[in-house]
């Protein structure tokens, strides 16, 4: 046997053992034998570097170090899931589905794994990319780290599509988690809090050999791409399994919401015996065609629904109530609790939301309270155990003045939150606003973190985000622990942010209620900041999805002399305060005032492209037909009920070609 053949055969053998062990949980050789063979392969690979393969099983042990994880834009957005908590929620969901699709609906029930979501890309059977969910639009490239996870196949088996993506969850099973913690405690280190955070933290370790030491697993649940030759979610799971992925066996195909409920009831108990954490069930419409018909809301697919298991509860004592000031000046009361174990984490604090909440619960310092925690949600106080209340207890008096700057708080008509109105003089507001400005979804300033912002403000180097653009290296160097290199990075990071597109700058300004989506809408509609700053209330609320509250907040922001000055300075520094020529060129107003429903399969453009075209030309896309629909664009295999509805309401049904003609 030649060296090359020997290398190939060892790789194949080790790959098969890996698969048996980590995917099938069924090992056929001892760990010792496995290690010997791995060593043998390593030696051969070192001797014959010409046969290098980036997907060799030897690379599972890691070693490559990533300094900065690059950002990768997801080819297909990674959505969130809508949540349901009861049978009624699920029945409502089914009613909405039945309005939009024809025929029988089957559902795939899966467990909701609680870890870090991941998108893997395979090309020609090899893993080429592993990207975290990030904000759903783009995430971090963690390929090197993911390759160390033994249940992630580096080379697929059987038949596979040329190129596809597969979504899954990286989890840390309890056994491995506990073992890691035992080691840490032994080494005198603080134990990790819970498997989920440890799993997602692991993905961002710089040294992949550290990741390799962690017993992470990758559970897969959805194939994405073109020409996958599958027509249902359930087939997708089977196909993924046949290619060598670890697909949990719990998944079940059912025919009704009643059967979905059986699945939920069963797993609400059985989950306690699983090797990893689950926080619920995910129910998906099985037919991919029906999934397409249903489409997505701004955040989540309409064809999937998470069902959250009831959260665990404990009781503990409320030691104190403190108050936090957010970047918008909103005051949040925080309950400081006697530390207590809950769902695998130690809970010390819980949000009390606002003064109404405190009144409603009649919660008092010294009370014994019930705390609940579900999945990601910050612990919540559900109720007070009145039977344990001390006679000496006193009603909680809400603060009247800002705990940071002592300004008297205000509470607007109809609002639940108290605010500190000292916009320009209240430290946490100033710091918070700049921290928001530099954050990843906003100006994404590299080389500058939240703590440095606080330091810069407290040292008096900056007072608002425009000041960032006037910072000099020499000013920054004297700061705590700031090396020359980091100071230079900070300054060049600030300079680079001048390329950030207008809609993100608008979001970065931190106007109350102007989140990412609203910023996009405003940018698209008004095209530049000057237009937004002089827009009237009526002009603002005329924009899709902009309501009274947002409009009032925008007007208030621009009515401040101070804000206007800051924006003038940003403009002078070259920050983008208008849409780029390219963005403008791709936009027309041809379809303004028209609402389209898109249904069926198309040929010259995909359904998503059609929707984009509609929006870029000023039209609106809606998912269901109503009297407000202007046109129904019909593709092949469109559901007959949609057609009937359109005919009944006299809505013109057009083809994709008719539509393209319009443009
Ligand atoms: P949420 O973060 O609560 O919006 O829930 C959405 C997340 O659930 C997704 O990003 C996935 O990471 C995760 N998830 C876990 N298990 C599944 C599953 N079986 N199907 C789809 N998503 C899942
Ligand atoms: Zn204040």
Q: Which ligand is nearest to the CA of 308?
A: 1
Q: What gap in Å lies between CA 642 and CA 634, rounded to an integer?
A: 9
User: Would you say how long the chain is, in residues?
Assistant: 663
Q: What gap in Å lies between CA 522 and CA 373, rounded to an integer?
A: 36
Nearest to 306 by CA among 106, 99, 91, 80: 80
Torsion of CA 81, 249, 273, 269, to 10 degrees: 60
Nearest to 464 by CA among 579, 561, 530: 561
Quote the pLDDT of residue 279: 84
Q: Whose CA is nearest to atom 12 of ligand 1?
A: 117
Ligand 1 pocket test, pick from 76, 84, 117, 299 with the greatest ligand atom count within 8 Å of Cβ, gives: 117
Nearest to 357 by CA among 382, 337, 379, 376: 382
Quote the pLDDT of residue 322: 96
Contact 18, 57 (CB under 8 A): yes
Q: Which ligand is nearest to the CA of 377?
A: 1
Ligand 1 centroid to 166 CA: how many Å? 13
- The distance between the two most distant Cα atoms of the chain, rounded to a whole number of Å, is 87
Summary mean pLDDT of the chain: 90
Write out pLDDT tens, residues 159-175. 999 999 999 999 999 88
Q: What is the DSSP letter of 636?
A: B
Contact 613, 648 (CB under 8 A): no
Q: What gap in Å lies between CA 342 and CA 412, rounded to an integer?
A: 36
**Ligand 1 atom closest to Cα of residue 111:** 19
Quote the pLDDT of residue 343: 67
Nearest to 99 by CA among 624, 629, 643: 624
Which residues are annotated as catalytic? 112
Q: With cut-offs at 50, 70 and 90, classify the pLDDT of residue 376.
A: very low
**Ligand 1 atom closest to Cα of residue 116:** 12
**Ligand 1 atom closest to Cα of residue 110:** 19
Write out pLDDT tens, residues 286-345. 999 999 999 998 889 999 999 988 777 889 999 999 999 988 898 999 999 999 988 667
Q: What is the DSSP letter of 578?
A: B
Contact 497, 440 (CB under 8 A): no
Ligand 1 centroid to 515 CA: how many Å? 23
Quote the pLDDT of residue 32: 83
Ligand 1 centroid to 77 CA: how many Å? 13
- Residues with a CB atom less than 6 Å from ligand 1: 80-81, 110, 112-113, 117, 133, 169, 221, 282, 306
Quote the pLDDT of residue 344: 66
Contact 192, 177 (CB under 8 A): yes
End-to-end CA distance of the chain: 65
Q: What gap in Å lies between CA 660 and CA 604, rounded to an integer?
A: 10
Write out pLDDT tens, residues 575-612. 999 998 887 877 778 888 889 999 888 888 888 788 88
Helix, coil or strand: residue 108 = strand
Q: Which ligand is nearest to the CA of 132?
A: 1
Write out pLDDT tens, residues 34-50. 888 888 998 998 889 88
| pLDDT > 90: percent of the chain | 56
Q: What gap in Å lies between CA 177 and CA 294, rounded to an integer?
A: 39
Reported pTM? 0.58
Helix, coil or strand: residue 93 = helix
Ligand 1 centroid to 112 CA: how many Å? 6
Q: Which residues pair with residue 380 across a beta bridge?
A: 351, 372
Helix, coil or strand: residue 603 = coil
Who has greater pLDDT, 445 or 345? Answer: 445
Arithmetic mean of pLDDT, 430-435 = 94
Strands (E), 352-505: 368-373, 380-384
Ligand 2 centroid to 396 CA: how many Å? 21
H or E element that contains 307: strand 304-308
Q: What gap in Å lies between CA 551 and CA 508, rounded to an integer?
A: 17
Arithmetic mean of pLDDT, 52-63 = 82
């Amino acid at each position: 046997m030649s060296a090359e053949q020997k290398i190939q055969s060892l790789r194949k053998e080790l790959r098969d053992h890996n698969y048996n062990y980590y995917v099938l949980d069924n090992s056929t050789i001892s760990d010792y034998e496995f290690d010997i063979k791995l060593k043998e392969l390593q030696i051969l690979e070192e001797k014959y570097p010409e046969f290098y393969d980036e997907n060799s099983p030897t690379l599972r042990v890691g070693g490559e170090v990533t300094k900065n994880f690059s950002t990768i834009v997801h080819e297909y957005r990674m959505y969130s899931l809508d949540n349901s908590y009861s049978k009624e929620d699920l029945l409502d969901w089914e009613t909405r589905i039945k309005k939009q699709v024809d025929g029988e609906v089957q559902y795939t029930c899966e467990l909701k794994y609680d870890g870090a979501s991941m998108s893997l890309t395979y090309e020609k059977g090899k893993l080429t990319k592993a990207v975290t969910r990030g904000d759903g639009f783009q995430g971090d490239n963690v390929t090197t780290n993911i390759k160390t996870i033994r249940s992630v196949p580096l080379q697929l088996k059987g038949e596979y599509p040329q190129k596809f993506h597969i979504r899954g969850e990286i989890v840390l099973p309890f056994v491995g988690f506990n073992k890691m913690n035992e080691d840490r405690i032994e080494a005198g280190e603080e134990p990790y809090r819970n498997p989920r955070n440890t799993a997602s933290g692991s993905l961002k370790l710089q040294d992949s050999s550290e990741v390799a030491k962690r017993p992470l697993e990758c559970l897969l649940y959805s194939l994405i791409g073109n020409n996958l030759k599958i027509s249902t979610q359930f087939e997708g799971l089977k196909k993924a399994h046949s290619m060598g992925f670890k697909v949990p066996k719990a998944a079940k195909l059912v025919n009704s919401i009643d059967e979905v409920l059986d699945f939920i009831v069963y797993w609400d108990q059985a989950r306690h015996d699983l090797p990893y954490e689950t926080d619920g069930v995910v129910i998906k419409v099985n037919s991919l065609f029906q999934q397409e018909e249903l489409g997505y809301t701004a955040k989540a697919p309409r064809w999937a629904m998470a069902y959250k298991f009831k959260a665990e509860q404990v009781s503990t004592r409320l030691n104190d109530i403190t108050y936090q000031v957010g970047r918008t000046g909103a005051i949040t009361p925080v309950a400081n609790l006697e530390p207590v174990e809950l769902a695998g984490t130690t809970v010390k604090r819980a949000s009390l939301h606002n003064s109404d909440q405190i009144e409603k619960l009649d919660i008092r310092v010294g009370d014994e309270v019930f705390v609940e925690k579900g999945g990601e949600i910050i612990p919540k106080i559900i109720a007070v155990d009145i039977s344990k209340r001390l006679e000496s207890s006193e009603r909680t008096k809400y603060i009247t003045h800002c705990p940071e700057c002592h300004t008297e708080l205000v509470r607007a008509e109809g609002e639940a939150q108290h605010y500190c109105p000292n916009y320009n003089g209240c430290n946490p507001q100033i710091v918070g606003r700049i921290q928001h400005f530099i954050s990843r979804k906003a100006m994404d300033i590299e080389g500058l973190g939240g703590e440095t912002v606080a330091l810069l403000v407290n040292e008096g180097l900056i007072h608002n985000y425009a000041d960032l653009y006037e910072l000099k290296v020499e000013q920054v160097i004297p700061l705590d622990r700031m090396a020359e290199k980091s100071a230079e990075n900070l300054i060049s990071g600030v300079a680079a942010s001048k390329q950030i597109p207008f809609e993100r700058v608008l979001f970065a300004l931190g106007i109350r209620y102007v989140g990412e989506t609203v910023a996009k809408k405003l940018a698209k509609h008004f095209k530049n900041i000057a237009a937004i700053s002089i827009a009237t209330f009526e002009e603002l609320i005329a924009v899709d999805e902009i309501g009274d509250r947002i409009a009032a907040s925008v007007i208030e922001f621009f009515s401040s002399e101070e804000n206007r000055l800051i924006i003038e300075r940003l403009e002078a520094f070259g920050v983008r305060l208008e849409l780029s020529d390219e963005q403008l060129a791709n936009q027309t107003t041809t379809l303004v005032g028209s609402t389209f429903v898109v249904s069926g399969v198309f040929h010259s453009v995909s359904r998503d492209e059609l929707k984009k075209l509609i929006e870029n030309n000023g039209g609106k896309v809606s998912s269901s037909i109503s009297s407000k629909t202007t046109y129904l664009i019909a593709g092949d295999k469109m559901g007959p009920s949609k057609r009937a509805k359109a005919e009944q309401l006299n809505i013109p049904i057009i083809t994709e070609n008719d539509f393209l003609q319009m443009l």
